[in-house]
Structure 1
Amino acid sequence: MNDFRNRPKDNYIHEADWEQLYVLTEHWKSDLLFFRDDLRFLHHLIDKYFLWISKKENIDKVRDIEVNLLEIDKQCDSLLEKTSKHLHHLAELIDDPFTYVSDKFRDEHEILEDELAQFVKDFRKNRKEVFTITEHIIEGEALVRQLNLSK
């Protein structure tokens, strides 16, 4: 999946009514909350296996991944804030359609969607890196322990 777009057609943002955009944005917020929980799990996973590390190269890899995850955390928090504000603005538009300039607001909606798509790509890449390094550490460090025990 190359992007996060949940639109049934390319011009959906400019043709959908406010209620439809509100539902779509609620879906985004729900997904972001899930990603935030998954990020907590990834941090926990790293913390758990960090204790096993004895090789400097593994420590450096984990440190790099942790820094990347912290950036993804910031990105997620920022998007959650933007999405919440966007939902609030959509609720105002539902109540009073003349609250904002329609075209400008729809353009902002599309920008938010593009930011979410980029976030999902970044998140998936980092998640894969966490699992890859965790697997590498478990296998590599376990071998070191077995060799030390056999001496």
Structure 2
Amino acid sequence: MKKENVKIDLSELFEQSDDIKSDMIFFKKDMTFLKHLLDRYFNKIFKIENIDELRECVMRFQDLSFSYTKLVDMLELHRSKLLYAINTGLQKNREILAEEHSHLCCKMRQFTSIYIRTRAEILSITEDVLEKKASRLRVYKSTGLFSYN
């Protein structure tokens, strides 16, 4: 099979990696929120009947955190390779860098998919606790009393 002679623009790949980096920053902040949510309300969401569901959810979240770290490391290494190739005008590794970029994008799609499912699960588990808290805050506000508990 003959390889097509396609021009690979490393600057464009680097810009795309900037977008991925921006997404990863968002995910990190949101994961911090989700972790805080689980930590803050763990005792209130912990019930014997949902212990297995909660344990599995926390394990998935831990796996997600580990995957995040690996993905960020891959991204930073890829960005440094791209930057080096751009700055030195290195031509011979363009195909390898493009393939690596494609692999990184695929990993990012997989991560995003798992992230969305895990986030929805955490929010679903904590929903009752948060609704009760919001209800109490509305009552306190309407009576003129306010509490952060």
1:49 aligns with 2:23: no
Aligned-residue sequence identity (percent) comes to 29
CA 1:99–1:88 in 2, change beyond 3 Å: closer, same or farther?
A: farther
Structure 2 residue runs without a partner (length 5+): 1-5, 133-149
Summarize the alignment of residues 21-60 of structure 1 with structure 2, pairs less than 5 Å apart. 21-53=13-45, 55-60=47-52
Please state how far the C-alpha of 1:103 moved relative to its aligned partner. Answer: 1.2
AA aligned to 2:98 is: R
The number of equivalent residue pairs is 127
- Partner residue of 1:129 out of 101, 110, 121: 121
1:96 partner letter: T
2:10 to 18, 40, 47: 18
Q: Taking structure 2 as the reference length, what is the TM-score of the superposition?
A: 0.76
Shift of 1:49: 1.6
Q: What SS does structure 2 have at the residue aligned with 1:52?
A: helix
1:72 partnered with 2:64: yes
**Any idea what SS the aligned residue of 2:22 has?**
helix
Alignment of 1:71-150 (within 5 A): 71-98=63-90, 100-136=92-128
Give the drift of 1:98.
2.2
Contact 2:8 2:98 in 1 (8 A): no
Provide the C-alpha distance between the structure 2 equivalents of 1:19 and 1:101, rounded to a whole number of angstroms.
14
TM-score of the aligned structures, taking structure 1 as reference length: 0.76
TM superposition shift of 1:16: 4.7
Alpha-carbon offset, residue 40 of structure 1: 1.2
Partners of 1:59 and 1:138 in 2: CA distance: 19
